[in-house]
Amino acid sequence: MPEKIKRVVIIGPESTGKSTLCKELALHYGTAWCPEYARAYLEENGMNYTYADLLKIAEGQLILEESIAEGVTSDLYFIDTNMYVMKVWCEYVFNNCHPFILEQIAERKYDLYLLCNIDLPWSYDKLREYPEEGPRQELYAIYKELLQNQQVAWNEISGTGEERLMTAIKIVDRFNNQS
């Protein structure tokens, strides 16, 4: 395990290419990536989730993130979703956020955030909830404001396909060379 793993988190609204970008970046840099635990949880338990389920999903995300981190041999580690996503999800759907999630936001340290723009067309997936443009714009604005009000470096990722990936690679390279 490297002395210091730089944790790069990919966040943003649903259907913005987070998982694809995470996988592609990990492949490009020859490192590991952590998938979004919520997908596996919802596939197993269904979409009629409760506020309590979001706490279970948050806990599962952290367990998955740490278990994969133990095997990281590179200095970069890409993470699809973190507690900011859980905070936004809790507050957007239930108007409340579990104290555990807020505590984890304060305690956990990440090195770079990539915010995926909503410029990709929404694509159907049985686990997605917000196909309309209004909620997508609203959620994107929430994520952007959240990142603007914290201390970790972050960048927006826009474009499609290869363009999106190349933009992210340039940002990660610049970040990795500076730190």
pLDDT of the residue at 124? 66
pLDDT of the residue at 77? 97
**30 part of a folded domain:** yes
% pLDDT > 70, the chain = 96
**101 part of a folded domain:** yes
Helices (H), the chain: 18-29, 37-45, 51-69, 83-94, 99-107, 133-148, 161-178
pLDDT of the residue at 126? 73
Residue with tokens 């990440």: 110
**1 part of a folded domain:** no
Give the span between the Cα atoms of 47 and 43, in whole angstroms: 8
Number of folded domains that form the chain: 1
pLDDT band of residue 4 (cuts 50, 70, 90) is: confident
pLDDT band of residue 117 (cuts 50, 70, 90) is: very high
Secondary structure, 3-state, 113-137: EEEECCCCCCCCCCCCCCCCHHHHH
> The CATH number of the domain where 82 resides is what?
3.40.50.300
Average pLDDT for the chain: 93
Q: Is 165 helix (H, G, I), strand (E, B) or coil?
A: helix
Lowest mean pLDDT among 44-53, 54-63, 108-117, 130-139: 130-139
Relative to beta strand 112-116, strand 6-11 is parallel
**68 part of a folded domain:** yes
Q: Is the pLDDT of residue 88 over 80?
A: yes
Q: Is 166 helix (H, G, I), strand (E, B) or coil?
A: helix
Domain that holds residue 126: 6-173
**179 part of a folded domain:** no
Give the span between the Cα atoms of 100 and 3, in whole angstroms: 28
Residue with tokens 């239930």: 94
pLDDT band of residue 2 (cuts 50, 70, 90) is: low
**93 part of a folded domain:** yes
Do 160 and 21 touch, CB atoms closer than 8 A? no
**137 part of a folded domain:** yes
88: left (phi over 0), alpha (psi -120 to 50) or beta: alpha
